[in-house]
Amino acid sequence: MNDDDKKLKDQIVFDAHPKLSEEFSRKTLDNIFIKKDLISANNDGTLRLFSFASRFKFILLGCLLLGIFAFQQGHQKFIDEELLNVDTLSMSSFSVL
């Protein structure tokens, strides 16, 4: 390669280039592994799980909050019923007396 060619090559290679977007790597992995299903199986399964979690994070968060709320309501109902039982029991004992 002569000097002119080397200079031209350096000018092209060491010139300012636009950067790849931050999402590029993730999008490409998604395309290869999930959308196109090109790879038979993701060994550890982490990619599908993380991708699913990241895509539906708000829905999953909503489900979690609803679950906590439902659990809390159920627990409260249980406590109320227990108190009522105690109350009924004490009333019946009182009436026996």
Partner 1 sequence: MLVHKVEAAAFSAALNGDTKSARKLIASLSPKAHALAWRILGESSEAEDIVQAAFIKLFEAKQYDGKAALSTYMHTIVTRLCLDKLRSSANHKLDYGFEYDELFSDDKLTPIESLERKQSDSNVQHAMQFLNARQRAALALWAYHDAGIPEIAKAIGLDVNAAHQLLHRAKINLRKKMEHLGYE
The residue ranges that bind partner 1 (CB under 8 A) are 4-5, 8-9, 11-13, 15-18, 20-21, 24-25, 27-29, 31-33, 36, 38-44, 46-47
Task: Tell me the DSSP string of the chain.
Answer: --HHHHHHHHHHHTS--PPPPTTHHHHHHHIIIIIS--SS--TT-HHHHHHHHHHTHHHHHHHHHHHHHHHHHHHHHHHHHHHHHHHHHHHHHHHH-
Q: How far is the CB of 61 from partner 1 (least distance, A)?
A: 25
- Give whichever of 16 and 59 is closer to partner 1, judged by the CB atom: 16
- Give whichever of 1 and 59 is closer to partner 1, judged by the CB atom: 1
